[in-house]
């Protein structure tokens, strides 16, 4: 009964913290019942079964988001791997306590699971999707450590917190207290960073008109595509958006054949020049398929960027290779590109202070996907302007605070605007990369090596 109760408690906390309910506070203790069980000398198979069941239950939100929208083969491999490896992390911590010491156990679970998440992120076609760390985006103080060591430092802190509570429950007061103290220091750092003065700001806006997008999908005509850009151009010129200097229009909002390009895009180029603004629009060319962003500059010039990370099997175009730099500290990535910390970091190290992101989501995953882009901003010191069909328009600063948000599934033109402080630019993480994650791998291997050398439990 105790084993079942631990599985149910952890599973429920994983589900409401990682999924659509967004109860970020519970992410700090979600694994605690399972770790408490592992430290109780319960049979290993019971610990494994409870941990597998709990983590799998926590992933039910994936089914809620993508059932009927994505074939199981797209997400299932990632979920199977994560559900299979998480119990090993819990067992690893239990063995560290039995074979080594409570201090080794305190470290073992956080570094092992952080190493696993990082390894998965290196090989997964979905990048860092599924990381525990994204649960904390709604709590900006809890994610500021990402500016030092990246996303996976947030994962480690969540695991350390849960582990410290489990050790305290097992009366390992010193080791549990050390874990709590470290987490508290991380939150103090987060609060201090949030209190820092903001830099210069620029007025930005996200635009999305799902009606025009649906008409383009249905008709595929030059008239429909030109009507779309004229509608967006009229919105850009509207008195309500006077003073806006950067506009974002969703991924694939403008659909056109290659030979239509100059005609279809002319209204946006003209509007950008008239408003003295940068207008960035997602475009899609069906044959040969191209998923690009066009940035129309106030000077009348234009820059293009091709999406680098594609969602198979739906996106079959050749991936782009450019960095997405637009000058003056501005840059762009398209949708799924923002799921890959290494990809974004390679662009951010060129001094990016504002990232403009056209995107297209799956409706029910709107917040889940939007928060991944927000985390990239915290990691690399840039503000984020994101506009997504079937999702959310979000405007967030370099500390991950959301200044404006709106859903784009409703009819008509959806617009949000805000005065957005530009980010400070490259952070420590931008400069040193994934050193912290590799350190977690090294420490995990070291603990495993020492445990193997001590075959007889202490």
Pairwise CA distance, residues 15 & 77, whole Å = 19
* pLDDT over 90 percentage in the chain: 88
pTM recorded for the entire structure: 0.95
Asked if pLDDT for residue 458 goes beyond 50, the answer is no
Asked if pLDDT for residue 457 goes beyond 80, the answer is no
Across-strand partners of 396? 384, 402
Across-strand partners of 7? none
Note the pLDDT tens digit of each residue in 380-437.
999 999 999 999 999 999 999 999 999 999 999 999 999 999 999 999 999 999 999 9
Per-residue confidence (pLDDT) for residue 315, from 0 to 100? 86
The whole-chain average pLDDT of the chain stands at: 95
The residue ranking higher by pLDDT, 207 or 19, is: 207
State the average pLDDT over residues 170-188.
97
State the average pLDDT over residues 46-50.
95
Determine contact, residues 397/136, Cβ cutoff 8 Å. Answer: no
Per-residue confidence (pLDDT) for residue 344, from 0 to 100? 98
Asked if pLDDT for residue 328 goes beyond 60, the answer is yes
Per-residue confidence (pLDDT) for residue 456, from 0 to 100? 52
Pairwise CA distance, residues 78 & 94, whole Å = 25
Pairwise CA distance, residues 56 & 109, whole Å = 18
What's the order of all strands across the beta sheet hosting 402-407?
Answer: 325-327, 330-332, 354-360, 383-389, 392-396, 402-407
């Amino acid at each position: 009964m105790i084993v079942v109760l631990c599985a149910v408690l952890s599973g429920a906390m994983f589900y409401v913290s990682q999924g659509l309910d967004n109860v970020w506070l519970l992410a700090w203790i979600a694994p605690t019942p399972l770790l408490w069980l592992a430290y109780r000398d319960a049979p290993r198979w019971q610990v494994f079964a409870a941990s597998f069941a709990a983590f799998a239950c926590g992933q039910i939100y994936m089914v809620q988001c993508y059932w009927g929208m994505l074939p199981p083969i797209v997400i299932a491999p990632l979920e199977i791997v994560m559900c299979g490896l998480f119990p090993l992390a819990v067992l690893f911590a239990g063995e560290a306590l039995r074979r080594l010491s409570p201090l080794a156990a305190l470290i073992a679970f956080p570094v092992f699971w952080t190493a696993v998440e990082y390894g998965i992120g290196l090989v997964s076609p979905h990048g860092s999707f599924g990381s525990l760390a994204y649960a904390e985006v709604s709590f900006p103080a809890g994610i500021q450590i990402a500016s030092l060591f990246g996303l996976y430092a947030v994962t480690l802190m969540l695991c350390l917190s849960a582990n410290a509570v489990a050790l305290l429950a097992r009366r390992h007061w010193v080791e549990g207290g050390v874990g709590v103290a470290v987490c508290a220091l991380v939150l103090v750092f987060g609060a201090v960073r949030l209190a820092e003065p903001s830099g210069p700001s620029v007025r930005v806006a996200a635009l999305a008109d799902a009606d025009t997008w649906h008409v383009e999908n249905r008709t595929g005509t030059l008239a429909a595509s030109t009507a779309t850009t004229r509608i967006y151009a009229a919105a850009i010129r509207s008195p309500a958006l006077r003073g806006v200097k950067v506009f974002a229009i969703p991924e694939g909002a403008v659909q056109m054949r290659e030979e239509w390009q100059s005609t279809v895009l002319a209204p946006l180029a003209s509007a950008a020049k008239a408003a003295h603004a940068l207008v960035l629009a997602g475009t899609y060319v069906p044959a040969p398929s191209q998923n690009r962003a066009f940035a129309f500059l106030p000077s009348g010039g234009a820059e293009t960027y091709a999406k680098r990370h594609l969602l198979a099997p739906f996106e079959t175009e050749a991936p782009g290779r450019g960095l997405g730099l637009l000058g003056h500290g501005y840059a762009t990535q398209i949708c799924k590109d923002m799921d890959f910390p290494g990809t974004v970091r390679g662009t951010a190290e060129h001094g990016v202070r504002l990232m403009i992101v056209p995107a297209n989501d799956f409706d029910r995953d709107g917040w889940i996907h939007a928060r991944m882009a927000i985390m990239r901003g915290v990691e690399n010191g840039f503000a984020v302007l994101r506009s997504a069909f079937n999702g959310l328009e979000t405007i967030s600063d370099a500390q991950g605070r959301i200044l404006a948000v709106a859903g784009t599934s409703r009819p008509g033109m959806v617009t949000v605007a805000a005065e957005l402080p530009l980010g400070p630019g490259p952070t420590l993480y931008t400069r040193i990369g994934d050193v912290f994650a590799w350190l977690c791998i090294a420490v995990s291997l070291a603990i495993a090596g020492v445990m193997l050398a001590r075959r007889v439990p202490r």
